[in-house]
Amino acid sequence: MIKLMIADDEQYERDYLHRSISERYAGILDIVYMAKDGAEVLEKAEEYRPDIILMDIRMPRIDGLEAAAQLVRKYPELQLVIVSAYGEFSYAKQALKIGVKDFLVKPYLDNELAETLDKVIAELGTKFKNNLDKQESEGEFNFHEDIDKDIVWDAAFGRKKNPMLQKELAMWGVQDCSFKSIVFLNNGISRMGPIGYEILKGIFCIKHTHVIMSYLFRHLVVYVFAEEDSAYAALNGCIRKARNYIKELDKETVFCGTSGIYQDYNELPKAYQEAVRYVSEYSSPEIKENLEMDIGKSWQLCDLEDKVYFYLANGNMEQSLFWMRQIWELLGVEGGANETFRKSTLRRSLMTIIRKINKLPESRLHTADAIHLFRLFSHASSEESKLYQFLEECVQLIIKSKKSMRINNNTFVVRDAKSYIENHYNEPVSLQSVSEALGISTGYLSKCFKNVEGISFTEYLTDYRLTKAKGLIRLGNSTITDIAYKVGFSDSNYFGKCFKKKEKMSPKEYYTIQAMDSNVEME
């Protein structure tokens, strides 16, 4: 969070600013101290190192202008905003000459204070981004940067369905919630960077809600989840603050669309499409075309990341490198992307791919290797031949870390498929329906089952249903026909054949053996 200090000699003014800022910028601004005079500001600035100071001019001991002059000299990156009832031009001129970022005259409106803070926060985002670039060049990386990206685009594009989506959302603390989708479109989003992303996410931190969001190219997708619909009451204010912040990144109009409230997680794509449609219907043909182009490229990027992941997991260096190059080329299509954007987005794609790789058993990329990899990336030239050399080393390093373990031997896919069968065996389950739920191909799931379980998917499903059927038969409360339907068979005759093939006896014979002392006679 961005650290903010308030300095005013009036207690009621300090309390008002604290309450107003805390409510409006929860999750973004952290009020670290409230000083009563200029001398206390100078003392506590050393201790708390705030990023922003809101300071009155007329204060005891040392006035605001003198304190501001000392603070600017000592902390040149500090964002200072003078707040005073003395609005004469001479004060404003002197304050700006010292290096104060803005001058707010009392009495001011709440939205004037908000506009000033939004502007300062946007400037801080740029400053933090520069510091982050420096840290990355020294090999310091946030490997969880935009981690929401791993689920947001699968949800928006319908690339995964329940129960896999439900399990992944549970990792974010989202369970049994309704949700809304918000979509923003603006050129500044592509230049936002990780700090801007965190600031925007903080804007949507409403009580009793969970937020996941991600951005690709020029559009940002936000999902807000809430257990009670009343929690969405504050959402309009969040959207307004987000639009103001994004507008500071790029002075052009920020287009925004929102969806209605949905309950079923399978409707996550529908909510996204509704928000997109709102942008399309209430904007110019040019903006609509830009949005459609961004959606198309976002879908392609996600698809390419999956291909790189698949071939890396299989240890296929040639195909991994080929699809990695396709990502680089996609990020520069039509010559509209600058090199900073291309490298930044490629870095985020690499992080997504590595996070997926690290979920595979015995294939985790060691931290030292990852730091080495991204240090190389920071110094990699944007010249394609040199960048391709880096990509080749990247592929070699990841494949080496996997200890030549192939994806088809991984048990986690089979584990999830078995879990799905356990929850849905009494429904029309098939290889295709489970594959769609897990977001993988039918061929891949079939191979995994054969390698891990030693039998086919269909054999496992039939055996599981028969096991459940035996339990129902022993209870003696239902007819054979009813039991067949209860465990997922659509044909009782076929159920009887499968049962006899497996148990070497009919269902009725099985009941007779298991319940010799029972008076219940099955039909």
Higher pLDDT, 250 or 350: 350
Distance from C-alpha of 171 to C-alpha of 221, rounded to nearest angstrom: 19
Instruction: Point out which residues pair with 54 in neighbouring strands.
Output: 6, 81
Per-residue model confidence (pLDDT) at position 139: 44
Which of 304, 294, 384 is closest to 343 using CA atoms? 384
Instruction: Indicate if 379 and 435 belong to the same structural domain.
Output: no
Instruction: Indicate if 20 and 117 belong to the same structural domain.
Output: yes
What is the pLDDT averaged over residues 336-356?
A: 79
Per-residue model confidence (pLDDT) at position 406: 47
Structural domain contains residue 293: no
CATH of residue 274's domain is: 3.30.70.100
Instruction: Indicate if 416 and 465 belong to the same structural domain.
Output: yes
Give percent of the chain above pLDDT 70: 83
* DSSP H helices in 282-316: 285-313
- pLDDT category, 185, cuts 50, 70, 90? very high
Structural domain contains residue 346: yes
Average confidence score pLDDT of the chain: 81
Higher pLDDT, 109 or 256: 256
Burial (CB count <10 Å: 0-12, 13-18, 19+), residue 333: exposed
Instruction: Indicate if 153 and 278 belong to the same structural domain.
Output: yes
Structural domain contains residue 182: yes
Final residue before a domain boundary, out of 360, 388, 405: 405
Structural domain contains residue 164: yes
Highest mean pLDDT among 132-146, 265-279, 365-379, 395-409: 265-279
Structural domain contains residue 289: no
- pLDDT category, 257, cuts 50, 70, 90? very high
Instruction: Indicate if 243 and 352 belong to the same structural domain.
Output: no
Instruction: Indicate if 275 and 329 belong to the same structural domain.
Output: no
17, 7 Cβ separation under 8 angstroms: no
Per-residue model confidence (pLDDT) at position 378: 65
Structural domain contains residue 339: yes
Each residue of 121-180: pLDDT tens digit? Answer: 777 765 554 444 444 444 445 556 678 898 999 999 988 777 777 888 887 778 889 999
Burial (CB count <10 Å: 0-12, 13-18, 19+), residue 464: middle
Per-residue model confidence (pLDDT) at position 144: 65
Each residue of 19-72: pLDDT tens digit? Answer: 888 877 766 788 999 999 889 999 999 889 999 999 888 888 888 888 888 898
Residue 262 neighbours by CB under 8 Å, 6+ apart: 178, 179, 180, 268, 270, 271
CATH of residue 488's domain is: 1.10.10.60
Instruction: Indicate if 25 and 57 belong to the same structural domain.
Output: yes
Structural domain contains residue 48: yes
Q: Please state which of the ranges 105-114, 256-265, 503-512 shows the lowest mean pLDDT.
A: 105-114
What is the pLDDT averaged over residues 305-323?
A: 83
What is the pLDDT averaged over residues 327-335?
A: 74
Instruction: Indicate if 364 and 472 belong to the same structural domain.
Output: no
CATH of residue 96's domain is: 3.40.50.2300
Each residue of 267-313: pLDDT tens digit? Answer: 999 999 999 999 988 888 888 888 999 999 999 999 999 888 888 77
Decide if pLDDT at 520 tops 50: no
What is the pLDDT averaged over residues 191-213?
A: 81
Instruction: Indicate if 334 and 208 belong to the same structural domain.
Output: no
Instruction: Indicate if 85 and 155 belong to the same structural domain.
Output: no
Burial (CB count <10 Å: 0-12, 13-18, 19+), residue 7: buried
Structural domain count, the chain: 4
Final residue before a domain boundary, out of 362, 384, 405: 405
Per-residue model confidence (pLDDT) at position 142: 58
Per-residue model confidence (pLDDT) at position 439: 72
Instruction: Point out which residues pair with 34 in neighbouring strands.
Output: 6
DSSP code for 517: T
What is the pLDDT averaged over residues 315-323?
A: 82
Domain that holds residue 344: 298-405
Q: In what order do the strands lie in the sheet with 209-216?
A: 209-216, 219-226, 178-185, 255-258
Decide if pLDDT at 357 tops 90: no
399, 315 Cβ separation under 8 angstroms: yes
Per-residue model confidence (pLDDT) at position 152: 93
Q: In what order do the strands lie in the sheet with 79-84?
A: 29-35, 2-7, 52-55, 79-84, 102-105
Total count of residues recorded for the chain: 523
Final residue before a domain boundary, out of 283, 315, 337: 283
Highest mean pLDDT among 46-50, 133-137, 257-261, 326-330: 257-261
Q: Please state which of the ranges 130-144, 164-178, 425-439, 485-499 shows the lowest mean pLDDT.
A: 130-144
Instruction: Indicate if 216 and 311 belong to the same structural domain.
Output: no
Structural domain contains residue 288: no
Per-residue model confidence (pLDDT) at position 282: 82
235, 180 Cβ separation under 8 angstroms: yes
Label each residue of 238-261 as H, E or C: HHHHHHHHHHHHCCCCCEEEECCC
Per-residue model confidence (pLDDT) at position 409: 47
Distance from C-alpha of 317 to C-alpha of 395, rounded to nearest angstrom: 6
**How far, in whole angstroms, is CA 312 from its chain's centroid?**
23
E-strand stretches of 36-144: 52-55, 79-84, 102-105
Per-residue model confidence (pLDDT) at position 124: 75
Higher pLDDT, 439 or 246: 246
Per-residue model confidence (pLDDT) at position 465: 92
Instruction: Indicate if 420 and 465 belong to the same structural domain.
Output: yes
- pLDDT category, 407, cuts 50, 70, 90? very low
